């Protein structure tokens, strides 16, 4: 089995290309703070690997972000084994109800938020996807004309994320939407993330970890091709 890996501008995130479609919907993101992972079997097993902090599942690849204190030397092999197991045995990476839920959530957006989402889908998301990332609209604050976005996948914690946010995404939205003046990142506090990670590691230790399948595979690593997030 051939699984290709590709570096991203974020040294703590890698893209994994299994060569088969993983999802029919827009990218879905799962992290150590996700309360229910039952609808995302692949993300659940990857997050069970202690150092993995976030998983972004797209149609063609999986973006995996790790803890800054861990290196990729051994973790990458474990991630490859998990993905290979899903591909080889045809296991669903994301359940159908999750994909339907994402579409339903978009239908509940206001007209202003729909316009913002259209610009993001057309001009922003394709660009950041090339670097293993994604953006999600959190909300629009009419009082300050501010769009708040969640940076997902390789975009989260990337050294160049702020430059991308202010000089790239904010400029694009302001040029196309008169009611947008500012773009800011929305993220949970470090305390919440730290607590979630500690709880997950404790549960992992109590449960004895996740068994790894005995799957043979080959992989190829490509260098990062761009400098932006």
Per-residue buried b or exposed e for 96-111, using 16+ beta carbons within 10 Å of the residue's own CB: eebbeebeeeeeeeee
Cα 210 to Cα 213: distance, rounded to the nearest angstrom:
10
CA distances (Å), origin 31, targets 107, 141, 174: 24, 25, 30
Residue 45 has pLDDT above 60, yes or no: yes
- Structural domains in the chain plus CATH codes: 2-97+190-222 (3.30.1370.70), 109-185 (3.30.300.130)
Q: What percent of the chain has pLDDT over 70?
A: 75
Query: Which pLDDT value is given to residue 16?
Result: 95
Residue 209 has pLDDT above 70, yes or no: no
Mean pLDDT of 1-29: 87
List 119's β-bridge partners, or say none: none
In 3D, which of 58, 68, 52 has the Cα closest to residue 10? 68
Query: Which pLDDT value is given to residue 141?
Result: 92
List 16's β-bridge partners, or say none: 5, 62
Q: Which two tokens stand for residue 221?
A: 């690593």
Cα 175 to Cα 25: distance, rounded to the nearest angstrom:
28
Q: What's the pLDDT band for 211 if we cut at 50, 70, 90?
A: very low
């Amino acid at each position: 089995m051939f699984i290709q890996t590709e570096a991203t501008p974020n040294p703590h995130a890698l893209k994994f290309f299994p060569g088969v479609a993983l999802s029919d919907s827009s990218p879905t993101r799962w992290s150590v703070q996700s309360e229910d992972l039952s609808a995302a079997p692949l993300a659940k097993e990857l997050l069970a690997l202690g150092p993995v902090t976030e998983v972004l599942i797209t149609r063609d690849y999986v973006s995996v972000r790790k803890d800054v204190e861990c290196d990729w030397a051994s973790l990458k092999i474990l991630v490859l084994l998990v993905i290979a197991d899903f591909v080889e045995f045809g296991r669903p990476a994301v359940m159908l109800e999750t994909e339907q839920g994402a579409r339903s959530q978009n239908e509940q957006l206001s007209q202003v938020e729909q316009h913002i989402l259209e610009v993001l889908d057309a001009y922003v998301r394709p660009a950041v996807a090339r670097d293993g990332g994604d953006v999600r609209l959190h909300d629009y604050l009419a009082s300050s004309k501010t769009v708040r976005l969640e940076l997902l996948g390789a975009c989260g914690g990337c050294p160049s994320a702020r430059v991308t946010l202010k000089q790239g995404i904010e400029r694009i939205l302001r040029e196309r939407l008169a009611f947008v003046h500012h773009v800011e990142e929305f993220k949970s506090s470090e305390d919440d993330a730290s607590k979630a990670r500690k709880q997950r590691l404790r549960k992992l230790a109590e449960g004895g970890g996740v068994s790894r399948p005995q799957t043979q595979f080959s992989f190829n690593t490509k260098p990062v091709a761009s400098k932006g997030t």
